[in-house]
Chain A
Amino acid sequence: MAYSEKVLEHYENPKNVGTLDKSKHTVGTGLVGAPECGDVMRLQIEVDPETQTIIDAKFKTFGCGSAIASSSLATEWLKGKSIDEAMTLDNMEIVEELALPPVKIHCSVLAEDAVKAAINDYRVKNGMEPIKLEEKVVH
């Protein structure tokens, strides 16, 4: 399978690879996927409690090139957004930006899930209700 230029770019120079201190109350962590499915994404956000704005985002991903690119793109996209705004991320934006083929759409869904799981983790840590997520049908 040939990869799009943008997937290759993110794969070769992934943005925001790393780990934030998950014990900090300003950090939310989302861990989604499973090793047996061939994709695991861990996406973390650091939020400014004053403004509820995402000031940093990091990821690590076990998966194919499209999964790595999807999470790299998602972290780029998150920085500077409010947590409410970030919650509106739709996986199709990732699909379009990276020109993912149909068999790789699940990678974008995983990235969306990771973002939302990280936001919910932050919300719960800070005494807010988690936002109920709708299940996306994939595979």
Chain B
Amino acid sequence: MVKLPIYLDNSATTPVDPRVLEQMIPYFSEKFGNAASRSHPFGWVAEEAVDYAREQVAKLINADPKEIIFTSGSTEANNLALKGVFEMYREKGNHIITVTTEHKCILDTCKHLGKQGAEITYLNVNDEGELNLQELEAAITPKTILISVMYANNEIGLIHPIKEIAAIAKKHNVLFHTDATQAAGKVPIDVQAEGIHLLSMSAHKMYGPKGVGCLYVRRKNPRVKVTAQMDGGGHERGMRSGTLNVPGIVGFGAAAEINLKEMIDEAARLSKLRDKLEYALMELEEVHVNGNREHRLPHITNISFKWVEGEGLMMAFNKDIAVSSGSACTSASLEPSYVLKALGLGDELAHSSIRFSLGRFNTEDQIDFTIQRVKDAVTKLRDLSPLWEMYKEGIDMATVEFKAH
């Protein structure tokens, strides 16, 4: 019997790997120094630890350690990238290009900048979540200063063609930022080879601690600068003041190193488990995988179970299996997932979706258990669903007059 509950929500957060935790512990109390204290051994020890972690993090994306600006996480890194570029390059222009399926912290930052005089273009995606690169290029104007496209989408796992986007940005002399929160540590990233100028990532999505992340800011070809959003002691080359979270940074470094070492084998293992889950669930009728299945992260699948509502479905197993849903009922706004809607999914399919995101500590037994429980739940909920009954009777749902509530 598998141990319950099973965690299949690794895109929300991951547990700290015990190997990472072990590295962090001395830096809470024994080696507690401030990395900015240059005058005594307590500070030197902390600084040395931060420098080492900076190298570990830089290696994960083939960057130079000096290009890593530690932050409190991806949200802060994304804010710093967008607001920092907008303020620094204001003279050059005020136009930013992004995508409708970005994470809220990109979209809301853009909205904020819009009020400060920025002009924002939100590119649409096709029904698989993919960008049209011609549209992207056509959106560039002489006023464009930044393109921000996420490396991989958090809801459907789709990986955007980062190298191609960077090439377009370079051709037009525009900066390119990518939010790699979901992708970093899961798939190989090379900021040199891919031509990325700015990149955000977060430790807690890769088996490191919460509350720490970084912004990669390119130093050469071109040298990129961002205006600090946090003023103070001038830490992190003046781009992010604030005493460094030494234990967190040590954990981030350790996590990055493990990910880099184990990435290829782990991606193969996870995609095998993910595919097993996906194929088994697709044996049910009227089940659809959302988003492109070819270019995506190895550990995510987003599935719509037609004619059952996502939250109602999750309730059948969420004491034992942790997943998340695009259903409105799980969000405070009562709106279904804007990402799935951007793919052109009808609201009813968006309401019926569940995201399974696998991780390092999931086993095949857990996946087998999940398959059975989810299949049983879908069957149970369909027996309860008037829409399923109508569908089985061959009624065309488009002809039914629903009274929108």
Contact = CB atoms under 8 A, between A and B. Distances in A.
Interface of A: 1, 3, 11, 14, 17, 19, 31-42, 60-65, 67-68, 103, 106, 109-110, 113, 138-139
Contacts of B330: 1
Contacts, number: 96
A60 B312 contact: no
A68 B386 contact: no
B40 interface: no
Given A60-B384, A61-B385, A38 B308 contact: no
B331 to A, nearest CB: 10
Interface of B: 307-309, 311-312, 315-316, 327-330, 332, 334, 336, 346-348, 351, 383-389, 397, 400, 402-405
29 contacts: A11-B316, A14-B384, A17-B384, A31-B386, A33-B402, A33-B403, A33-B405, A35-B397, A36-B351, A38-B309, A38-B328, A38-B351, A39-B405, A40-B402, A42-B386, A60-B385, A60-B389, A61-B384, A61-B385, A62-B387, A62-B388, A63-B329, A64-B329, A65-B311, A65-B312, A103-B334, A109-B405, A110-B405, A139-B405
Contact of A62 (B328, B385, B404): B385
Contacts of A67: 309, 312
Contacts of A33: 402-403, 405
Contacts of A19: 389
B249 to A, nearest CB: 34
Nearest to A19: B389
A31 to B, nearest CB: 7
Contact of B334 (A1, A65, A139): A139
Contacts of A62: 307-309, 312, 384-388
Contacts of A17: 383-384
B325 to A, nearest CB: 10
Given A62-B308, A64-B329, A38 B386 contact: no
Contacts of B336: 38
Contacts of A35: 346-348, 351, 387, 397, 402
Given A33-B402, A61-B385, 18 more contacts: A1-B330, A11-B312, A14-B384, A31-B402, A32-B405, A36-B348, A38-B311, A38-B328, A38-B351, A39-B309, A39-B405, A60-B385, A61-B386, A62-B307, A62-B385, A63-B312, A63-B329, A65-B312
Contacts of A139: 334, 405
